[in-house]
Structure 1
Amino acid sequence: MKTPPGLESQAPNMVCKLEKSLYGLKQASRQWNAKLSQTLIAFGYEQSKADYSLFTKKTPSGFTVILVYVDDLVLAGSDISEIQQIKALLHNKFSIKDLGELKYFLGFEIARSQSGINMCQRKYALDLLQDSGQLASKPCNTPMDPSVTISKESGTQLADPSSYRRLIGWLLYLTNTRPDICYAVTRLSQYMDTPTTVHQQAAYRILRYIKTAPGLGLFFPKESDLNLKGFTDSDWGACHDTHRSTSGFCFFLGSSLVSWKSKKQTVVSRYPQKQSIELLLKALVKHNGYCIFFMIFASIILKLWLYIVTINQQFTLLIILLFMSVQSI
């Protein structure tokens, strides 16, 4: 590395040999992640293959989970002694600061009660309303107006699209706890290149909808089963610009919503049953490693329902591909 200011060197072209990664260098974050991962693995934790920032450990008395975000760690589990032990080990290794029970993290507010855990982004939503000038606006009951047709050519192009792009970015982060606005925000994010006044008014309507209940979020009940259920749905060529379909799926662990997505398909489907199978295929790929999906929508022509229950994703995808080939979709 180059010699830092204040260090006198006899040769003008002299450089320093980096023996240890320093805070602020471009490789520092990678080195820190490698060091922390090695430490947690040495303590008996297993790094998740689906999410490398997730570490788990199973003990005879319970189960412990560690979620890592740079140098912030969230600990959860049923084994209190293991949680206290890992805190002590990390403190001896890195000198950590224990912030106590999780209440606020990266804009997420966590509230506990006797019935379960509620997670929302109320403060983030209120700050968003204030920064966008919609705090005093009139609330509405739906995130989108069904009577308004949204397309690429609708409305007059904005002179400065940066404010629209910034607003959509804020709303996209809010969808982490608000699946009810996921479709509307995803729809408007397609026009970030050349947004118009119609798109901007539609984005403001989402804010007015958020104002009705800024503290709305996800609830995880204390008493719930662990059955994994998935649901998919899509329109058929509803996009006025490309005639492509918009797909969506959601997964429930018991009665708790744990994953969801809404996205425009990349191809034009000639038949609605084909896009249903394509959507299911993407949902299976999205949840690699989980025991998911128990039902496939079959062809309307054959009046057939095909049910698959499996924990092997490759086998499931093979069955779907064979089914698609037989139907010549």
Structure 2
Amino acid sequence: MDVKSAFLNGFIEEEVYVRQPPGFESVRFPDRVYKLRKALYSVKQALRASYARLKSFLLKSGFVMGSVDKTLFLLSRGSDTLIVQIYVDDIIFGGSSNALVSSFAEQMSREFEMSLMGELQFYLGLQIKQGLEGTFVHQAMYTRNVLKKFNKGDSKPMTTPMSTNTVLDAYEDGEAVDQKEFRGMIGSLLYLTATRPDIQFAVCLCARYQTSPKTSHRQAVKRNFSYLKCTPELGLWYSSDSSLSLRGFSDADHAGCQIDRKSTSSTCQLLGTSLVSWSSRKQASVALSTTEAEYVAAASCCSQLLWLKATLSDFSLRFGRIPLLVASTSAISIAKNPILHSKTKHIDVRFHFLRDHYEKGDIDLVHVVSANKLADIFTKPIEFDAFTHLRGELGVLQVEGVDNALIKGEIESQWTGLIALLV
């Protein structure tokens, strides 16, 4: 659903004045200004005023606002539920009852000037394909447009986004490249990571050198485009039969940055077999050991799991101890054993909340074997076989032209061993 003239619907509480627009000047009072009662485009208060009116209308209609996400609204009618998500002037809604959905559409059309777009298929550059077996989210059209924009359609296909031999640093003596073009390529690739977690690490690593890019940095970015040419149809698969168990993975590459020797934290969170959140970012401080780097990464993953836990509570989903799978047994020991804290005082205090939430029972720290380290794909370049294995376990697949039943069976078989380990 699209809200037409969304920024003209809100009432302004502050005093805002505008000059008399051309063609609407007052002959009697040519030197006066207009006082706004409702929002106009380019007025800073327009977005807030529009959201306030829409929120007020939904709350009066019986909706309940999400406790974490303030753009989420839920309505319950007996055993049926209606979910509404707002993004600026676009609204995504769905429910368990066709009558409830139709009633909401009619109610909104009476109050606002709306345009019903039908079933969700394209949203903010994301292509959505829904079916009984699940939902496939991808950016194939955007990928082709990016390849065409930067003239990479004829590049040699690559099977991985980054070579395992790639080492990037400042290269102060290297040949400089066009900074505007380099930043444009990075920005285009960063938006693509919304559905392509397989390129997250490679893109974020190249993004660190936007201030003074060299030829070597540009070559690394071009490798990403070559990989995209080989895999334009990949996207995220969300199975409708996936369980609603929340789990997280964390990993770290100790002193991976060649400039300041800071480590890279990588985390991913899954709801059943569906990847819902992931990150790959450089840590704020230098870690003195692999254990410390892994501990900091686990703390970051813990905070994201707690946020997801609170968000999912709005959907009446309750979780006990959430498993957090960590690659380092030493990092787990720091969180579980308070005696080790006397030897780890150099670790920033803000990361020690990991142990607090372990004691509260919010999370359960579990060691994960190398074969199931899903966060590895966000930490460092890896070989093709391991890369494709982790990519498949994260649900990054090509659904177009592939039997959904086969995909479902493939993902379930990959998770059987890991779920048994957690139990």
TM range (shorter): 0.7 to 0.9
Does the Cα contact within 8 Å between 1:61 and 1:79 map onto a contact in 2? Answer: no
Does the Cα contact within 8 Å between 1:277 and 1:320 map onto a contact in 2? Answer: no
Does the Cα contact within 8 Å between 2:292 and 2:331 map onto a contact in 1? Answer: no
Q: What is residue 3 of structure 1 aligned with on the other side? A: 20
- Greater CA drift, 163-172 or 294-303: 294-303
The separation in 2 between residues aligned to 1:189 and 1:293, in whole angstroms, is: 32
The structure 2 residue matched to 1:254, chosen from 272, 285, 290, is 272
1:129 paired with 2:137, answer: no
1:197 paired with 2:226, answer: no
Give the aligned residue type for 2:134.
G
- Closer, same or farther: CA 123–236 of 1 in aligned 2, 3 Å: same
Paired-residue identity, %: 31
Using the TM superposition, give the Cα deviation of residue 295 of structure 1 relative to its aligned residue in structure 2, in angstroms: 4.1
Q: What is residue 74 of structure 1 aligned with on the other side? A: 92
Q: What is residue 318 of structure 1 aligned with on the other side? A: 356
The separation in 2 between residues aligned to 1:192 and 1:320, in whole angstroms, is: 39
Give the aligned residue type for 2:245.
N
Using the TM superposition, give the Cα deviation of residue 200 of structure 1 relative to its aligned residue in structure 2, in angstroms: 1.1
Q: What is residue 229 of structure 1 aligned with on the other side? A: 247
1:174 paired with 2:204, answer: no
Q: What is residue 176 of structure 2 aligned with on the other side? A: 157
- Closer, same or farther: CA 205–289 of 1 in aligned 2, 3 Å: closer
- Closer, same or farther: CA 96–207 of 1 in aligned 2, 3 Å: same
Q: CA offsets per residue over residues 123-161 of structure 1, 9 Å max, x none?
A: 000000000100111110110122221112263222x30
- Structure 2 residue runs without a partner (length 5+): 1-17, 310-318, 338-351, 361-423
Q: Which has the higher helix share?
A: 2
3-state SS in 2 of match to 1:85: helix
Instruction: Give the TM-score normalised by the residue count of structure 2.
Output: 0.69
The separation in 2 between residues aligned to 1:141 and 1:296, in whole angstroms, is: 28
Q: What is residue 300 of structure 1 aligned with on the other side? A: 330
Give the aligned residue type for 1:33.
Y
- Closer, same or farther: CA 203–286 of 1 in aligned 2, 3 Å: same
Using the TM superposition, give the Cα deviation of residue 283 of structure 1 relative to its aligned residue in structure 2, in angstroms: 2.0
The separation in 2 between residues aligned to 1:143 and 1:301, in whole angstroms, is: 30
- Closer, same or farther: CA 135–102 of 1 in aligned 2, 3 Å: same
What is the alpha-carbon root mean square deviation over aligned residues? Answer: 2.6
- Greater CA drift, 115-124 or 27-36: 27-36
Q: CA offsets per residue over residues 27-51 of structure 1, 9 Å max, x none?
A: 2122111111211222222222332
The structure 2 residue matched to 1:106, chosen from 118, 124, 127, is 124
The separation in 2 between residues aligned to 1:151 and 1:48, in whole angstroms, is: 44
Instruction: Give the TM-score normalised by the residue count of structure 1.
Output: 0.88
Does the Cα contact within 8 Å between 1:111 and 1:117 map onto a contact in 2? Answer: yes
Give the aligned residue type for 1:37.
K
- Closer, same or farther: CA 112–82 of 1 in aligned 2, 3 Å: same
The separation in 1 between residues aligned to 2:103 and 2:275, in whole angstroms, is: 31
The structure 2 residue matched to 1:29, chosen from 24, 47, 59, is 47
- Closer, same or farther: CA 234–59 of 1 in aligned 2, 3 Å: farther
Q: What is residue 85 of structure 1 aligned with on the other side? A: 103
Using the TM superposition, give the Cα deviation of residue 321 of structure 1 relative to its aligned residue in structure 2, in angstroms: 10
3-state SS in 2 of match to 1:230: strand
Aligned length: 315
3-state SS in 1 of match to 2:208: helix
